[in-house]
């Protein structure tokens, strides 16, 4: 069956991503040291660095390239080039669930209050808000949804698991 859009034919041909790739990360340092891009981190080939170092992952980076290369990494900044670009959520989820990264994952770039709850569910645990965002409102954003309905990287109990635990305790 062909999809029609006001005589334009197959609408899939009209859908084009509108995400401009950033030229460079929005951050290059954190409060404890330097942030290296993924290619810079991999190029160091295991050589230790004098100062604490973290990694910044761009939306086009494959976080799985870090498998076996996370020793000594305490922070990974995940770049959100545009608030409508969801690749950062996937990157954070992969870092937590597949690579088992236990350090800090920081959302950077075009980070808005409306994204914080979902970012936290994906395993992001610190956030560099865009300059026009209200910090106090951001703190309240984590209370938006008191219950969740599925497992996520934050490992928060979801409704069915909580209900099962309550029933088990009552028995």
Burial zone of 163 (CB within 10 Å; 0-12 exposed, 13-18 middle, 19+ buried): exposed
Q: Does a structural domain hold residue 117?
A: yes
Q: Does a structural domain hold residue 38?
A: yes
Q: Does a structural domain hold residue 171?
A: no
The confidence score (pLDDT) of residue 98 equals: 94
CA-CA distance, 77 to 128, in Å (whole number)?
9
Q: Does a structural domain hold residue 25?
A: yes
Q: Does a structural domain hold residue 8?
A: no
The reported pTM is 0.72
The domain spanning residue 69 has which CATH number? Answer: 3.20.20.70
Q: Does a structural domain hold residue 109?
A: yes
Q: Does a structural domain hold residue 9?
A: no
Domain count, the chain: 1
CA-CA distance, 78 to 43, in Å (whole number)?
19
Domain boundaries, position 35: 19-144
Q: Does a structural domain hold residue 133?
A: yes
92-115 per-position pLDDT tens digit: 999 999 999 999 999 999 998 888
46-103 per-position pLDDT tens digit: 666 666 778 999 999 999 999 988 888 889 999 998 878 899 999 999 999 999 999 9
């Amino acid at each position: 069956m062909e999809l029609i859009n006001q005589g334009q034919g197959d609408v899939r041909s009209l859908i084009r991503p509108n995400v401009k790739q950033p030229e460079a990360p929005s951050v290059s340092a954190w409060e404890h040291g330097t942030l290296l891009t993924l290619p810079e981190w991999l190029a160091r080939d295991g050589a230790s660095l004098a100062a604490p170092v973290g990694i910044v992952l761009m939306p086009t980076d494959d976080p799985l390239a870090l498998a076996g290369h996370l020793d000594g990494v305490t922070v990974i900044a995940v770049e959100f080039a545009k608030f409508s670009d969801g690749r950062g959520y996937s990157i954070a989820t992969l870092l937590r669930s597949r690579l088992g990264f236990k350090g800090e994952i920081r959302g950077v770039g075009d980070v808005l209050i409306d994204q914080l709850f979902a970012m936290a569910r994906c395993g992001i645990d610190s956030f560099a808000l865009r300059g026009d965002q209200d910090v106090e409102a951001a703190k309240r954003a984590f209370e938006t949804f008191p219950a969740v309905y599925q497992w996520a990287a934050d490992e928060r109990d979801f409704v069915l698991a909580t209900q099962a635990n309550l029933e088990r305790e009552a028995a």
